[in-house]
Structure 1
Amino acid sequence: MSADQLEIDVLLYVALNEEFEALTSAFAEDLHAKLEVTELTDLALQVFSVSVTSPVLKKEIRLAIVPAGKMGATRAATVVSGILGRSSCNNVVVLGIAGSLSDDLQPGDVLIPDSVVEYLANSAAKNVEDKEEWELETSGNSYASNPRLLNRFQYLKTTHREQFERWEADCAERYAPVATEEVRAKMGEAGFTMRSEVRIFAGDDHKLASGPTVGKSEDFVEWLKSKVDRKFAALEMESAGVYDASSLREPPPRILAIRGISDFADERKKLIENGTKGQFREVAAKNALSLLLRGIEAGFFEPVAPEDVKKKSGLMLDKRRKNG
């Protein structure tokens, strides 16, 4: 792989080193493949790549992983812009862990949001009438996930049963040793009953809150859902930057967020982390990657040739002219 021009079908953005380490071991376990590494000459980044065979497409899909080594939307946007500037990549996936904002999503589940909301973007601080207090008035940026990719993952269980059942079996094997009776009992004492299996939550108007704040407070979660958007399902810190950087490309790549749920974004976060010694973070990251790999095998990320993009754009323009 050249450091000047990267040959990529799917760009995978990963923020933290612990997420990347979990994914590295998952690649070895799942694909029995070693990642190839390219150190870029003009960016302090390394790109790790691997070929994933798609039996459906009868070809290999080139997947490139870029670990940023740092949290936050600013870093994410900078890194993704730099990679897309030297690649004709048509698919971007931001993958990692997130904290649940809903009792429906429990540790181990995987969320593919309908949209990503940068909840503190364009916010304004204003005084509260008749009180010596101030509050934030929000007006966040919202980014939509690619509808085609989202739809395909929504119906993976129906359209590609073999890939779905493999994902489900792999998740169950990882989940059982971590979700012990002791952990379940502690969660029960906190008023939450854990399911015995993990699930995919894709689309269905689930929104991902993306911003600079780590959630460890029930009051903060209440503020997010009551003052910003009640449909927030999970919280993280990078996806808004990845989506924004991708949206500036012309034509833009298809983009998706795949987030493994590692804990809850409130007081239960500490309970989960102490009870499992952080093991759910690794489980969540691996469950998310496993879902991505099954999607690649199912042909969800078929390469899109530049001439096809131009052809589609031309057809849409002709259609508008006829209807105009």
Structure 2
Amino acid sequence: MESQEKEKYDFLIVFPLQEEFNYFIDIIQEKESKRINSNYYYIFDFPDTDFRAVALIAFEPGINRTIHLIDVALSYFNVDMIVMIGIAGGIGDDLKLGDLIIPETVIEYEADSKAVEDENMKKPYLVERSPKHWSINDNILNFIRNFSNIEKELYKNYQDQVKKFVSSLTLEENLMVHVTTDPKYLTNKLLSGNIVGTATEFINEIKSIDRKIIGIEMEAAGALRAASELSTNVPTLIIRGISDFADDRKKEFDNIQKGIFRELAARNASLFFLTIIQSKTFKDIQEEFFRFHEYFRLDERQKNIVNLLSQEPYDARELNNLYLGALRVLNDENNPDRFYQCAYSLHHLILKLINPDNQVKLEEKDVIYEKVESFLDQNDSSFRNSVNFLFDIFSYFQEISTHSNKILIIEKIFNQKLESLELIIWSRLSRFYDILSDLQELMNIPEPTQDIMEEVEIIINARNDLFREFFLNLRNPEWLHLLDQNGYFDIPEDKNAYMIQTVYLEKVATEKSEKVVEIIKRLSNIKNWAVRVNFLKTILNLSIQHIEKLVDEIKSWIETPISKNYSLYELVKNLIEKLFSENALLLAREISEEIFDVEKYYNKESS
């Protein structure tokens, strides 16, 4: 069936289970049902809106089934957005039963996992994970994050309805303490896989993937995978109500009053969706998606690049926005400035790829050239030609975007440059993820040796992005002494340079306090403010006994007026609060006096 023959709907709503669908139709009844071949769908019109939706029920949990059902549905229907509504297990203390997760990122934790021998013989085997990250559309995410502020009346109405339902519950006090009384939603990260989270030990293992994980379920990754593999790249919204805490109590909670917590969670997820679609802002966003899909299609190469840019190490959201924004404006033939606007996005895309830490300015051509060298694979036989080629493409798009109407644009050449850039990105990033997988295997070794360290060095010293990813993702404290012995925490020649390896110290501060203090003292004269921010984040995880050893260093960092280093002073303020809370009053006073030494600031400024 051709795309123009498909029935048009605003939403495809996916309910993993029958009970989740039941709670939805308790609130709003379907208009009709329809059968297409062996598949059944339910049609909804929403009061007070112009929206129409088609819904399906999966009836069984799991990622692969979700992918299949959405793929089939999208062969029949043309939709602007996929919405998944259901329940999830909460992880951590941030959410209560009935609160919502509307994730910024869904982590498919079983992707590319494999079982290997446990060299320490503590377990029959270990599971090495290489999770895949799926990001929610930035426009949707920003709307959700701001919804409670920009639509106060709608949000209050939602909360009041939840509170009314909660007040009707007849539960023992020891259960009611787990139920939300101030309904809220969070946009942190959600785990998705084919395993039901009912074992505390399992949850403790997988939540170490990312500290921002607050929930786990079994279908969201399937919805996002199906959506991203389509030519239209359909925006997807996940709304999950918390029905349990993904631990040994799950079965007990599920059986209380015939699943009252599951009902509360599913009802709230449905109610929230029906609330947000009443917002005019949401309607504007949805109409933008409609206009986007009407004239904008990705070819296979572009779809592959979008998938690569959707992975966590490359800060998916910003890169995807730049790339898709460039393609979108280029396809708008009614826009007289489409080439200039496209070039602007593309040259910033290249800059972000080669310079993820934003340490380079556009006018620093020599530094940009060096960053291009670091970005490309130095082991490639055509390395030098590739460097010159990518730098030439960057310069071409920058020249167009900065001089706009002064540059004569030949469309054929412009499109050739874009295609060349896409081929470089595809070649470079597809190889990146293969190497990253090997690096993650080495990082996961519980007790690394010098031989393992040397294997890691071969990988991370060849490319800056892998060097960066190693330290951003490394959590095992057993690497600290090895890294120090191999010079990664030596004093650098350039004391203004950023040291990405200092982010690792925060993660191991509790287990390796003495060594961490030693390293911070050694590097305390680094002038880069971002390094000092990393040090203060690390210090916040130390005991008072260890903080005392670093007082002189902390005081030496408080050198400039607060306006110049806001992040640094926010952390100092947090440190002072920690000292007060742990009754280290003299220490808190000493650091506070350093901050309020106004006369010293004036002397520094005048000199």
Return the match for 1:84 from 60, 71, 74. 74
Residue 222 of structure 1 deviates from its aligned partner by 0.6
Q: Deviations over 1:66-90 (max 9, x none)?
A: 1111111111000101111222211
Return the match for 2:31 from 30, 35, 40. 35
Aligned match of 1:165: 156
Q: Do the aligned partners of 1:224 and 1:230 also contact (CA within 8 Å) in 2?
A: no
Residue identity in the other structure for 2:267 = K
- After the TM superposition, which residues 193-232 of structure 1 pair with which residues of structure 2 at under 5 Å, given as runs? 194-201=179-186, 203=187, 206-226=188-208, 228-232=209-213
Q: Do the aligned partners of 1:90 and 1:252 also contact (CA within 8 Å) in 2?
A: no
Q: Do the aligned partners of 1:53 and 1:297 also contact (CA within 8 Å) in 2?
A: no
- Counterpart CA distance in 1 for 2:202 and 2:343 is 49
Residue 153 to residue 127, structure 1, CA distance change in 2 (3 Å): same
Aligned match of 2:146: 155
Aligned match of 2:42: 48
Q: Calculate the TM-score normalised by the size of structure 2.
A: 0.47
Q: Do the aligned partners of 2:23 and 2:270 also contact (CA within 8 Å) in 1?
A: no
Report whether the alignment pairs 1:111 with 2:112.
no
Q: Deviations over 1:44-85 (max 9, x none)?
A: 22111111245xxxx511122111111111110001011112
Residue 195 of structure 1 deviates from its aligned partner by 4.5
Residue 291 of structure 1 deviates from its aligned partner by 0.8
- Counterpart CA distance in 1 for 2:234 and 2:175 is 44
Q: Do the aligned partners of 2:99 and 2:180 also contact (CA within 8 Å) in 1?
A: no
Report whether the alignment pairs 1:93 with 2:83.
yes
For residue 226 of structure 2, give the secondary structure of its aligned residue in structure 1.
helix
For residue 50 of structure 2, give the secondary structure of its aligned residue in structure 1.
strand
Residue identity in the other structure for 1:241 = G
Residue 234 of structure 1 deviates from its aligned partner by 0.7
- Counterpart CA distance in 1 for 2:167 and 2:180 is 11
Aligned length: 300
Residue identity in the other structure for 2:182 = E
Aligned match of 2:14: 13
Residue 130 of structure 1 deviates from its aligned partner by 3.4
- Counterpart CA distance in 1 for 2:138 and 2:166 is 30
Residue identity in the other structure for 2:85 = L
Q: Do the aligned partners of 1:45 and 1:68 also contact (CA within 8 Å) in 2?
A: no
Q: Deviations over 1:283-310 (max 9, x none)?
A: 1111011111111111314331344647
Stretches of structure 1 lacking an aligned partner (at least 5 in a row): 29-33
More helix as a share of residues: 2
Residue identity in the other structure for 1:139 = S
- Counterpart CA distance in 2 for 1:314 and 1:224 is 37
Aligned match of 2:222: 241
Q: Deviations over 1:71-125 (max 9, x none)?
A: 1111100010111122221101111000111221111001100111110110021
Residue 173 of structure 1 deviates from its aligned partner by 1.6
Q: Do the aligned partners of 2:88 and 2:241 also contact (CA within 8 Å) in 1?
A: yes
Q: Do the aligned partners of 1:108 and 1:283 also contact (CA within 8 Å) in 2?
A: yes
Q: Which has the larger radius of gyration?
A: 2
Q: Deviations over 1:10-63 (max 9, x none)?
A: 1111111111112111214xxxxx43111112xx22111111245xxxx51112
Aligned match of 1:31: none
Residue identity in the other structure for 1:321 = A
Q: Do the aligned partners of 2:70 and 2:226 also contact (CA within 8 Å) in 1?
A: yes
- Counterpart CA distance in 1 for 2:235 and 2:119 is 45
Aligned match of 2:275: 294
- Counterpart CA distance in 1 for 2:51 and 2:104 is 25
Q: Do the aligned partners of 1:96 and 1:260 also contact (CA within 8 Å) in 2?
A: yes
Report whether the alignment pairs 1:315 with 2:329.
yes
- Counterpart CA distance in 2 for 1:275 and 1:307 is 48
Residue identity in the other structure for 2:112 = N
Q: Calculate the TM-score normalised by the size of structure 1.
A: 0.86
Residue 186 of structure 1 deviates from its aligned partner by 4.5
For residue 321 of structure 1, give the secondary structure of its aligned residue in structure 2.
helix
Q: Deviations over 1:222-281 (max 9, x none)?
A: 11112x333221111011111000001122111111001111100232342344431111
Identity across matched positions, percent: 29
- Counterpart CA distance in 1 for 2:103 and 2:12 is 18
Residue identity in the other structure for 2:189 = K
Residue identity in the other structure for 1:78 = H
Residue identity in the other structure for 1:165 = K
- Counterpart CA distance in 1 for 2:249 and 2:168 is 20
Residue 23 to residue 237, structure 1, CA distance change in 2 (3 Å): same
More strand as a share of residues: 1
Return the match for 1:137 from 103, 122, 128. 128
